[in-house]
Chain A
Amino acid sequence: MNNKFPEVKPDGFTPEEAAVTMRVRVFVNMRWFAILAIIFAAVIASTVFHIGFSPLPVYIICIFLAIYNAVLWRLTRNLTSEQTGFVVPRVKHYLYTNVFIDLTMLIVLIHYTGGIENPFIFLLILYVILAGIGLSHKTTYFIATGAFLMVGVMVTLEYTGLISHINLEGFMPPDQYKQASYIVAILVALAVLLYSSTYLTTAVSGELRKRQRQVVALSQQLLVEKETELDVSAKEIDKLEEEKKRFLSFLGMAAHDLKAPLAAIQGFLWLILTGYTGKISDKQRDMLDRSSRRINDLVNLISDLLDIPRIEAGQLVQEMKDVSLNELIKRCADDFSTVAKEKGLDLNVEVPETMAKIKGSDIRLRQVVTNLLSNALNYTLWGSVTIRATETELEQRVEVMDTGIGIPPQELPKLFYDFFRGSNVSVKGTGLGLAISKRIIEAHGGKIWAESPCPETNKGSKFIFTIPGKS
């Protein structure tokens, strides 16, 4: 059952209520069938076999049974609107009442159709089997005993003449009901059959009901277990989320506190270098310039180191908005135009006029493009650097190609590792630029890789990254 709460049935019954109600309904249906069968049997007996008995009591009993069954049918139909908790006792009450009425009617019917002479007396066994399927085994034994006692009382009363015996003329000899051996044989057979069928049906149905209860108990236990597991997991997720928040705020504080003194130092150095504090000698300028550059490297290293966990903690998603890659690339390339000119390099920007917007972090993507352009310009002594953007429906692709020193093939796989620096480079860097770029691109769901030499020019290297489209 894929219902989340198996104990609730569509009509609002618990499994116990549903089962009990169902049993009463089965009994009602069986009773309609029995009434028809009795009338049919009576008609056949008197018309086909010409057995002499008065059918009138039979019909009267059948009419009574029909009325009583109709009432019961109405009662069970109205049960749905009952308040929970009242259904089970009420239905049990119906059951006991109608078992008693059924048995009494059956005995009366048998009395009017020959008493002990009537072989249909064994129908009592069918009744006990039915009861055994639907009711507890104690009740079934009680019913079997009740049925047998009622038969005994009827036979005794007829035998002693306290009530008149009705003979089935043409079917049994008229004094059969006085023959002790016959009566004893029938009663013994009836008793044996009644109790053995009670034993058999209650054993089988009892086992079935036990299993059913076990299944219900088991599924409820599983449900409770799953709910507890879910609870525990939810709490763990909350805890992790809380820890992540604390970690990120710690990083924010660390970044702030590490950079604040450096920013102050750098500010003062720049003040001195730009002449706000008076003239300085060339030697002093050179030393201060070097200090300023080292401070700058340190600031960048701290920013880079603190960036990594932030990106890995998924901070980027919060920064994402609509970004036009072509505009972003143009802006970045503009920043490098002076550097390129100073080095005598051609900086080619090949981007379409318009490009679909993507979901991304503007500042982080700019960081990647800046990193790739800066690397390309740093490691190229002559020739050109080209940045190109293309788009398909699925993704946008950015390529940065240079005619520089290239990358030794054995180093290509290690290029994006933390702190990795090429063996053929002399230019300073933290060795974190590409490693961070890779994290940024992957946080956008994209890919970044390098080829060397660049396939188009057979010179230098080529860096490519892709970002999936917005849809």
Chain B
Amino acid sequence: MSVKVLIIDDDPDILIALTLILESQGYQVMTARDGLEGLGRVKMDVPDLMILDLMMPRMDGFAVCKELQKPEWTKYHHIPKLILTSVREEASRRRYELEMGVTLGVDSYMEKPVHPDVLLENVGRLLKSK
């Protein structure tokens, strides 16, 4: 069975590029345009990995992570997350770390644009450490 990756990003071009990269490696890719749609996708079909944009309309990446920490989402806690951001802003990372009570590894926080090789490397590492 192929590995399922859910990409949540509001930029359709990013979705196209990432999908192309991941599908070329045999991953099964699902996409969502914002946090709410993404959560719906998670319920429908549990992904093995989530790639999340931070700044999105309706529900941003922070909100998705917070929502997933709630008890009713317990069975989805284990899903590894890769944060993608287009802003070089340490403050947002600190905010994430403080609010989630976790320290983000280098693998799970990337700044756009992401080189295909780097992306695949990080995705592979996250799935292995799962």
Question: Is B86's CB under 8 angstroms from A315's CB?
Answer: no
Which of chain B's residues have a CB closer than 8 A to the CB of A271? 17, 20-21, 116
A264 within 8 A of B: yes
Residues of chain A with a CB closer than 8 A to B89's CB:
252, 255, 310
Taking a contact as CB atoms under 8 Å apart, the answer to whether A267 and B94 are in contact is no
Bound form: Cα–Cα A252–B13 in Å: 21
Interface residues of A in 243-280 (CB under 8 A from B): 252, 255-256, 259-260, 262-264, 266-268, 270-271, 274, 276-277
The answer to whether B3 has its CB under 8 Å from any CB of chain A is no
Rounded to whole angstroms, the CA-CA distance of A299 and B55 in the bound complex is 18
Roughly how many angstroms separate A362 CA and B89 CA in the complex, as a whole number?
11
Interface string of A292-322 (1 = CB under 8 A from B): 0001000100010001001000010011010
In the assembled complex, the Cα of A310 lies from the Cα of B89 at a distance in Å of: 10
The residue in chain B whose Cβ has the minimal distance to the Cβ of A254 is: B87
A350 smallest CB distance to B (angstroms): 25
Indicate if the CB atoms of A267 and B113 lie closer than 8 Å. yes
Any A CB within 8 A of the CB of B72: no
Known A-B contacts A256-B55, A299-B113; the reply to A276 vs B21 at CB < 8 A is yes
Contact A259 B112 (CB under 8 A): yes
- Judging by beta carbons under 8 Å apart, are B90 and A319 in contact? yes
Q: Is A361 an interface residue (CB 8 A)?
A: yes
Q: Is there a chain B Cβ closer than 8 Å to A126's Cβ? A: no
Say if the beta carbon of B117 comes within 8 Å of chain A: yes
Question: Which residue on B lies nearest to A273, using beta carbons?
Answer: B116
Asked whether, in the complex, the Cβ of A276 is within 8 Å of the Cβ of B90, the reply is no
Knowing A255-B87, A319-B91, A364-B90, say if A263 contacts B14 (CB, 8 Å): yes
> B87-130: contact bitstring with A at CB < 8 Å (1 yes, 0 no)?
11111011000000000000000001111110000000000000
Residue of A with least CB distance to B17: A267
Interface residues on chain A, size class: 20 to 34
B88–A303 CB distance below 8 A: yes
- The residues of B that contact A234 with a CB separation of less than 8 Å are none
Judged by a CB distance under 8 angstroms, whether B24 is at the interface is yes
Q: Does B11 contact A (CB under 8 A)?
A: yes
**CB–CB A362/B86 < 8 A:** no
Indicate if the CB atoms of B17 and A256 lie closer than 8 Å: no
- Select the residue from A252, A267, A364 with max chain B CB neighbours within 10 A: A267
How many angstroms between the C-alpha atoms of A142 and B87 in the bound complex? 87
Closest to A262 in B: B113
Closest residue on chain A to residue B54 by CB atoms: A256
- Chain B: which residue is nearest A317 at the CB level? B91
Known: A271-B20, A276-B21. A256 touches B87 (CB 8 A): yes
Alpha-carbon distance between A271 and B13 when the two chains are bound, in angstroms = 12
A150 to chain B, nearest CB (A): 86
Whether A268 lies near B13 (C-beta < 8 A) is: yes
Within the complex, the shortest CB–CB distance from B64 to chain A, in Å, comes to 17
Q: What is the CB-to-nearest-CB distance from A199 to chain B, in angstroms, rounded to a whole number?
A: 77
**In the complex, chain B residues whose CB is within 8 Å of the CB of A264:** 11, 13-14, 17, 113
Contacts A260-B11, A263-B113; A315 near B91 (Cβ below 8 A):
yes
Residues of A near B17 (CB, < 8 A) are 264, 267-268, 271
Which residues of A in the span 68-117 have a Cβ within 8 Å of any Cβ on B? none
Most buried by A among B14, B24, B89, B93: B89
Chain A hits for B93, CB < 8 A: 363
Set of chain A residues within 8 Å of B11, measured between Cβ atoms = 260, 263-264
Q: A263-B86, A264-B11, A267-B14 are in contact. Are A319 and B94 (CB under 8 A)?
A: yes
> Distance (Å) between the CB of B108 and the closest chain A CB?
15
Residues in A with CB closer than 8 Å to B21 are 271, 276
Q: Is the CB of A270 within 8 A of B91?
A: no
- Closest residue to B89 on the A side, CB-wise? A252
Given A264-B17, A271-B17, A271-B21, check contact A259 B116 (CB 8 Å): no
Tell me, in angstroms, the Cα distance from A274 to B21 when the chains sit together.
10
Instruction: Enumerate chain B residues within 8 angstroms of A364, measured Cβ to Cβ.
Output: 90
Q: Give the contacts of B1-41 with A (CB-CB under 8 A).
A: 11, 13-14, 17-18, 20-21, 24
Residue in B13, B24, B55 whose beta carbon sits within 8 Å of that of A267 in the complex:
B13
Q: Which residues of B contact A256 (CB under 8 A)?
A: 55, 86-87
| Closest chain B CB from A165 CB (angstroms) | 100
Is the CB–CB distance between A363 and B55 below 8 Å?
no
A274, B14: Cβ atoms under 8 Å? no
> How far is the CB of B119 from the nearest CB of chain A, in Å?
9
Q: List 25 A-B contacts (CB under 8 A).
A: A252-B87, A255-B86, A255-B88, A256-B55, A259-B87, A260-B11, A263-B11, A263-B14, A263-B113, A264-B11, A264-B14, A266-B113, A267-B13, A267-B14, A267-B113, A271-B21, A276-B21, A299-B113, A315-B91, A318-B91, A318-B94, A319-B91, A319-B94, A363-B93, A364-B90
Using A256-B86, A267-B13, A364-B90 as known contacts, list a sample of 5 further A-B pairs with CB atoms less than 8 Å apart, ordered by residue number in A.
Answer: A256-B87, A259-B112, A260-B11, A270-B116, A276-B20
Q: Which 8 A-B pairs have the closest CB atoms?
A: A266-B113, A264-B13, A263-B112, A267-B17, A363-B90, A319-B90, A263-B113, A259-B86
